[in-house]
């Protein structure tokens, strides 16, 4: 087995061309350098250096080993640097669970930011709805959740979690182009009481937002079709299957052929998005840069 410290000596001798100069650079005695070179030759089974009137030069076998020495010592330097960064909290992996539009809205932009501000931090993303991501944090399956406020969610002062507000966005009404309210500037929710509805499944935080908004308008929505994918919700509305409320960011990049999108008259239902970590972890040197990057990305939405 070749010892790495002897490779350092071989490289120093190759660079300085004399044992005395190499010894001075390594803060060793010339005798110690000669002993280590002899031991390295014994380890490799090859003569590595030749001494002459003009100093020391490497043999062909020594040149071969020197080429590998550069690669080996460079990799060891990288290992030491990475371990040092890990020890100081500047390098490591942070797992983030977030719903699909949250990934597009803040997680992906945060990852771009981190490549410049904290390149040692690697983000691993898992797609999960808000009602699933918070338990994943509490169960230590992930480090950070990007979630939505919903009925039954742990409150902001929950002693188990630390909340970081990110952004809030309104829901817009999506109705077929043939709908009686398609030409209105704003859609009063109460006017949709008798329409069939399309929306997320119960348990999805957005389902709660829609139901609560309709209840506040004085009716219980009649959910005819259910999907957690808002592209599917919009497609069904375009097929004249019903009406829907959709978060504004979820409409970006969605095919809106066959539907019209209108603001809700009055106080619009709102999706409030936040990041959550286990309480006490918010200042972890790996997690804090991620939360800061998420917050910065949210400020640009």
Domain ranges of the chain: 4-83, 90-166+272-299, 168-271
Measure the CA–CA gap between 187 and 179, rounded to whole angstroms. 11
Per residue in 99-146, pLDDT tens? 989 999 999 999 999 999 999 999 999 999 877 899 899 888 899 999
Q: Do domains 90-166+272-299 and 168-271 have the same CATH topology?
A: yes
Q: Are strands 244-247 and 222-226 parallel, antiparallel or unpaired?
A: unpaired
* CA distances to 186, 234, 259 from 183, in Å: 9, 18, 11
How far is 8 from 14, CA to CA, in rounded Å?
Answer: 10
- Which fold does the domain 4-83 belong to in CATH? Arc Repressor Mutant, subunit A (1.10.10)
Q: Does domain 90-166+272-299 have CATH number 3.40.190.10?
A: yes
Of 107, 117, 172, which is closest to residue 143 (Cα–Cα)? 107
Tokens of 17: 């061309």
User: What pLDDT, on a 0 to 100 scale, did the predictor assign at position 205?
Assistant: 85
Contact 252, 204 (CB under 8 A): no
Q: Which of 28-37, 81-90, 139-148, 250-259 has the lowest mean pLDDT?
A: 81-90
How many angstroms separate the CA atoms of 132 and 151, rounded? Answer: 13
CB-based contact 205:148 (threshold 8 Å): yes
Cα distance between residue 228 and residue 129, in whole Å:
9
- Could you give the CA distance from residue 211 to residue 207 in angstroms, rounded to a whole number? 6
Q: Give the sign of the dihedral formed by CA 255, CA 259, CA 262, CA 265.
A: negative
Q: What's the pLDDT tens digit per position in 240-254?
A: 999 999 999 899 889
- Model confidence at 266, in pLDDT bands (50, 70, 90)? confident
- Residue range 157-173: average pLDDT? 92
Residue 132 burial (CB count, 10 A) = 18
Q: Which DSSP category does 223 fall into?
A: E
Of the CATH numbers 3.90.1150.140, 3.40.50.300, 3.40.190.10, 3.40.250.10, which one belongs to the domain with range 168-271?
3.40.190.10
Q: At what angle do helices 30-44 and 19-26 cross, to 10 degrees?
A: 100
Does this model's pTM top 0.85? My answer is no
For the chain, report the end-to-end CA distance as a whole number of angstroms. Answer: 57
């Amino acid at each position: 087995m070749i010892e790495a410290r002897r490779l350092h000596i071989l490289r120093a001798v190759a660079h300085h061309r004399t044992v005395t100069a190499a010894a001075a650079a390594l803060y060793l005695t010339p005798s110690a350098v000669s002993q280590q070179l002899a031991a390295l030759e014994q380890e490799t089974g090859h003569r590595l250096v030749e001494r002459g009137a003009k100093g020391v030069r490497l043999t062909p076998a020594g040149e071969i080993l020197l080429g590998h020495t550069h690669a080996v010592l460079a990799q060891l330097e990288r290992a030491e640097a990475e371990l040092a960064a890990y020890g100081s909290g500047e390098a490591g992996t942070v797992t983030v669970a977030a719903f699909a539009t949250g990934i597009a809205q803040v997680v992906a932009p945060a990852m771009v930011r981190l490549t410049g501000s904290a390149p040692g931090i690697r983000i691993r993303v898992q797609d999960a709805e808000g009602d699933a991501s918070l338990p994943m944090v509490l169960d230590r399956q992930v480090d950070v959740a990007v979630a939505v406020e919903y009925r039954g969610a742990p409150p902001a002062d929950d002693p188990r979690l630390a909340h970081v507000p990110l952004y809030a966005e309104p829901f817009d009404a999506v109705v077929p182009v043939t709908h009686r309210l398609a030409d209105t500037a704003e859609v009063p929710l109460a006017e949709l009481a008798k329409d069939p509805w399309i929306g997320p499944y119960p348990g999805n935080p957005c389902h709660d937002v829609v139901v609560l908004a309709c209840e506040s308008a004085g009716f219980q929505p009649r959910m005819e079709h259910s999907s957690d994918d808002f592209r599917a919700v919009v497609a069904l509305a375009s097929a004249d299957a019903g009406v829907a409320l959709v978060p504004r960011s979820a409409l970006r990049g969605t095919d809106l052929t066959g539907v019209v999108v209108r603001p809700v008259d009055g106080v619009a239902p709102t999706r409030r998005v936040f990041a959550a970590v286990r309480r006490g972890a918010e200042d972890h040197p790996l997690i804090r840069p991620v939360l800061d990057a998420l917050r910065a990305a949210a400020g640009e939405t």
